[in-house]
Amino acid sequence: MASGNGSNFEALVEAGARQLLPAQVVSLVVNNPGCGASQRAERLGIGVTCLNHRSFASRDSLDGALVDHFQAVGVDLVVMAGWMRIVTSRLIRAYPERLVNIHPSLLPSFRGVDAIGQALAAGVRLSGCTAHLVSEEVDAGRILAQAAVPVVPGDNHATLARRIQAQEHRILPLAVGLAAERLGLLHSQP
């Protein structure tokens, strides 16, 4: 699931192709028509579905459509890789312990929107990113992996975001693999 540029989505696809992630990305769902993630999916040969959140009466109805889509394509694990929407219990209940999110802070610090801006405003010297399981409380699920990124003098939102995103690309495939392993989804090759 992605809303924007899709670089974390592409990192997952590449990790699978290089056999660094023992999984296959089978579908991408975006909520913004024509977003960068859609273009990446087309270039990478991954099916993309747009479920424009503006076309749904509620978050719950959007999440119902997400569940229907994921069940139709037979996914085992769902990854929110830059999905800029808060999900409801409907999606969380459909994929308990199977819904992974990447967040640009060292949780539990700086939950929610604009975590990078929050970190800069707080004057922290260390930021980073967290891959975690999704729970009903925003950015509060069980942590799977984290990476620290120093905040250096002169950093602004863009410079810090670039360094954090590089670490997101590294830890998200690792976290997806850990989640799949915990759930017994990985099968050894004969």
Tell me the C-alpha distance between 38 and 182, whole Å. 30
Q: What is the per-residue pLDDT across 118-166, written as a single tens digit (0 to 9) for each?
A: 999 999 999 999 999 999 999 999 999 999 999 999 999 999 999 999 9
> Is 103 an annotated catalytic residue?
yes
One of 3.40.50.720, 3.40.50.300, 3.40.50.1820, 3.40.50.170 is the CATH number of 7-182, namely: 3.40.50.170
Start-to-end C-alpha separation, the chain: 32
Catalytic residue among 103, 157, 169, 187: 103
User: HSE of 149 in the Cβ direction (CA atoms, 13 Å)?
Assistant: 26
pTM over 0.85: yes
Write down the domain spans for the chain: 7-182
pLDDT, average across residues 78-95: 96
